[in-house]
Structure 1
Amino acid sequence: MTSPHDDGADGKPGVAVRCQENRSVGVRFCDRFAFDADSVHYAVELSAPGLTARVDEVVAWIWDADLGAYLEELAEGYRGWDGERRWRTDDGDLSVSAVFRPGGHVGLTWTVRPWYEAAGGWSASVTTWLEAGEQLAALASDVRHFLAGGRP
């Protein structure tokens, strides 16, 4: 499930995705800002029992295929597909892989990795399961709205 107006503990707007099979597993997009018209920066937080991970300044460039478009494409394939569909940011700090499960559910595995300069070279992943149709379409819309900064 998603929430387009997820005000986190800090009171700032964001988008939250919760796994419908285990609500304690989730992803949150927050702290959006832009330096110029060519890019949008934001943070991604992953949570699961025993796991909290955050990557700051994930960058979405206007000329790249964006996360919203990827999620919309997945939602349009609500009848299913074979194999895995993947997306990642240009810098590789956020990647998503999607699999379709019979019964109309999509598993989205979200992986975050700090930029190369970050100490430790760690990565973290969580998988959220959503309904392939309306829930995935709502997430795509929420993410597109968040990345646009509220612009239509």
Structure 2
Amino acid sequence: MAEVRLSASDPARTLRLSGYEQHDPYFGGFGVEITAERLTASFSIGTSHGDGLAEFLFGLAQDFRGWQGTRSWRSLENDLTLAAGYESGGHVRLTWTARRFGWNWHEDIHWSVSVEFVREAGEEMLDLAREVSSFFGEPEVG
């Protein structure tokens, strides 16, 4: 799959994962673009086979009846994170946060941007997990 695109009820709010390439047997990279209102942030993320993002999303889909608190995922270098919270009515709030660090890695944040999407806890989360799994060329785990 060439890309994964999430959008909200407001079509100006999107998250796009694109261009995944495996650089060697252990590491690769992909592009991320976040758009919200009049803001667009585009950047590259280093990864080790998706850093378990697909498995994380499959886990959320499997727990469609809900959970307490927030579940979190982070990329290899913590420059892309995802926080998931279960909401009433069988929905999951996904908060994606991207950040760029300065010279003192993890101490000096140059910028960060977050965007939120709400998805149905069952099939919509399962569809997203499948898309991400395909994007990284992983077997379906859910």
TM-score (norm 2): 0.86
Higher strand share: 2
Match of residue 60 from structure 1:
47
Mapped to 2, the partners of 1:126 and 1:113 lie a distance apart of 12
CA contact (8 A) 1:68 1:143 kept: yes
Query: Which amino acid in the other structure matches residue 116 of structure 1?
Result: G
Q: Percent identity?
A: 32
2:91 paired with 1:102: no
Residue 41 to residue 115, structure 1, CA distance change in 2 (3 Å): farther
Structure-1 separation of matches of 2:121 and 2:12:
20
The residue matched to 1:141 in structure 2 has which SS? helix
The equivalent of 1:128 in structure 2 is: 117
Q: For residues 86-131 of structure 1, give each alpha carbon's deviation from its aligned partner in whole angstroms, at most 9, with x where no partner exists.
A: 1101201100000111001111000111243599710111001111
Instruction: State the secondary structure of the residue aligned to 2:133.
Output: helix
CA–CA distance in structure 2, aligned partners of residues 120 and 69 of structure 1 = 28
Residues of 1 paired with 2:69 and 2:89: CA distance?
A: 16
Distance 1:134 1:82 in 2: 20
Q: How many residues align?
A: 137
Q: Which residue of 2 aligns with 1:92?
A: 78
Moved over 3 A (4+): 115-120
How far off its partner does 1:65 sit? 4.7
Which one of the candidate residues 131, 136, 140 is aligned to 1:147?
Answer: 136
The one-letter amino acid paired with 1:122 is W
Kept in 2: contact 1:111–1:124 (CA 8 A): yes
Give the deviation of 1:148 after TM superposition: 1.5
1:51 corresponds to 2:36:
no
Aligned to 1:10: none
Matched-pair contact (CA < 8 Å) for 1:60–1:66: no
Aligned CA RMSD, in angstroms, stands at 2.3
**Deviation of the 1:77 alpha carbon:** 0.8
